[in-house]
């Protein structure tokens, strides 16, 4: 092969240059600092002894999840956590050492739906298998011990991992009746006292589910038990909220994975939620968003709109004011979610959702309209605007035609000379025309020849 300058080109070298590794993406200063912290953190965890007897690689093989599927999960998780692609190898290492991060899970005023979200998995994903790998040092729902033995196991876990463990709080914390609305253990310890005692030795706190993050249903008006959120009880520890009813296991595992990797909690919003999971509205990623943009709504349950998966906003969907990623990560083995199943969002990842959002009608002051004219939607607006424009054009043409006819009739009445066969100018309307003038005007004059025009010679003489 010869290039434009007449020089020979090594085709193998050219192919290698095109198919070789791409340039390494540039990193920001913040990324470099985070990478150094992550490397140090991983070295420390890899040097420590596993606290859990379960190994991630063995579990993946046991459930038929291959290395390729795991690496695909690593890539997706790295992107989900808003980390650069260069962090993928470290995310894989962090997943394999999550059995070295101790977790203590306590539960107060709740329905246990967040624990059930993990335990009910029939075909576990990588995220759900990671929950099995986690060194869960204490969780009264799934432990064999009970009574005083359970309390002793909790005390041993706190002492052995003091200052290192992650405290997970499920459920709200009631304060009424001296905390007697929710007690725990054989001694009947008020849950509010347990929260304060266990959080003292925690490295960080993760509140899971709507009841723990905002007190939710237990705190609904008139809040008879005096229920509080976790962040209202614990004020001296870093806290991250993973709301929703129940929370999505993906969001919990992602947050715990970020802590395993970096030793710190991810970036949070004003409600202490991780921005990588709760940074966008459900409305932005809704599978029915196209119908909203088109102004196509379900007007009542079971109508044609419901059968065609139209937008549920008029049926009370709170997706336009709720921040969550459940439309992307889904529930039930990544198969469905509330809107996908045909019911509108009730805003369960927002503060005080039970009083503010949990009813089947739009908010009176929401002021959420479909794009386009008067909230008709883009497509309907184009159709109606086009029809209106054609109607205006038709009306204009008709008006022009009628005006032309009227003007013509008026001209015939006021200027008869302009009409073929009409009277000459100056003749009053309706007056008879002069016969001579008419004859003179209508009778052609005979042509005169040159010989007829000249006088004869006899006459001249």
The two tokens of residue 422 are 């009409």
What the chain holds in terms of domains, given with CATH numbers, is 35-276 (3.40.50.700), 280-391 (4.10.480.10)
**396-432: per-residue pLDDT in tens?**
788 777 777 777 777 777 766 555 555 565 555 555 5
pLDDT digits (tens, 9 = 90+) for 246-261: 999 889 999 999 999 9
d(Cα 255, Cα 262) in Å, to the nearest integer?
A: 11
Per-residue confidence (pLDDT) for residue 423, from 0 to 100: 59
Structure tokens at 330: 């889904």
**Long-range pairs, 357-362, Cβ under 8 A, ≥24:** 357/318, 357/321, 357/322, 359/316, 360/315, 360/316, 361/315, 361/316, 362/313, 362/314, 362/316
pLDDT of res. 420:
59
**Segments of the chain with pLDDT less than 70:** 1-26, 120-124, 364-388, 415-461
pLDDT at site 460: 44
pTM score > 0.85 for this model?
A: no
pLDDT in tens, 35-49: 999 999 999 999 998
């Amino acid at each position: 092969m010869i290039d434009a300058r007449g020089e020979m080109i090594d085709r193998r070298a050219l192919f290698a240059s095109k198919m070789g590794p791409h340039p390494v993406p540039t990193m920001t200063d913040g990324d470099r600092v985070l990478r150094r912290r992550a490397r140090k953190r991983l070295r420390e965890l890899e040097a420590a002894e596993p606290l859990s007897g379960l190994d991630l690689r063995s579990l993946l093989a046991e459930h038929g999840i291959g290395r390729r599927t795991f690496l695909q999960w690593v890539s997706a998780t790295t992107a989900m956590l808003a980390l650069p692609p260069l962090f993928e190898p470290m995310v894989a290492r962090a997943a394999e050492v999550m059995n070295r991060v101790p977790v203590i899970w306590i539960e107060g005023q709740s329905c246990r739906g967040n624990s059930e979200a993990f335990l009910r998995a029939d075909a576990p994903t990588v995220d759900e298998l990671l929950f099995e790998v986690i060194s869960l040092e204490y969780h009264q729902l799934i432990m064999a011990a009970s009574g005083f033995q359970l309390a002793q196991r909790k005390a041993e876990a706190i002492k052995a991992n003091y200052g290192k463990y992650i405290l997970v709080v499920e459920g709200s914390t009631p304060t009424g009746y001296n905390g007697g609305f929710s007690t725990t253990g054989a001694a009947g310890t008020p849950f509010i006292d347990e929260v304060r005692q266990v959080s003292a030795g925690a490295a960080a706190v993760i509140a899971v589910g709507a009841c723990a993050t905002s007190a939710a249903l237990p705190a609904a008006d008139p809040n008879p038990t005096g229920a509080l959120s976790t962040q209202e009880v614990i004020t001296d520890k870093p806290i991250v909220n993973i709301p929703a009813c129940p929370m999505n296991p993906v969001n919990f595992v992602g947050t715990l994975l970020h802590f395993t990797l970096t030793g710190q909690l991810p970036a949070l919003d004003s409600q202490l939620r991780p921005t990588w999971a709760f940074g966008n509205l459900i409305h932005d990623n809704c599978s029915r968003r196209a119908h909203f943009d088109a102004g196509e709504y379900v007007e009542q349950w079971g109508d044609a709109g419901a059968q065609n998966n139209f937008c549920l906003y008029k049926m009370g969907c709170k997706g336009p004011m709720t921040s969550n990623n459940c439309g992307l990560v889904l529930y039930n083995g990544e198969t469905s979610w509330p809107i996908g199943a045909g019911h509108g969002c009730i805003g369960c990842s927002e503060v005080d959702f039970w009083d503010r959002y949990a009813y089947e009608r739009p908010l009176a002051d929401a002021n959420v309209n479909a794009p386009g004219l008067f909230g008709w939607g883009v497509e309907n607006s184009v159709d109606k605007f086009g029809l209106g424009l054609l109607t205006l054009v038709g009306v204009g043409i008709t008006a022009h035609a009628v005006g032309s006819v009227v003007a013509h009739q008026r001209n015939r009445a006021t200027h008869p000379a302009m009409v073929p066969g009409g009277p000459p100018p100056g003749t009053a309307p309706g007056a008879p025309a002069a016969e001579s003038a008419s004859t003179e005007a209508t009778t052609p004059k005979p042509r005169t020849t040159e010989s007829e025009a000249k006088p004869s010679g006899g006459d001249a003489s």
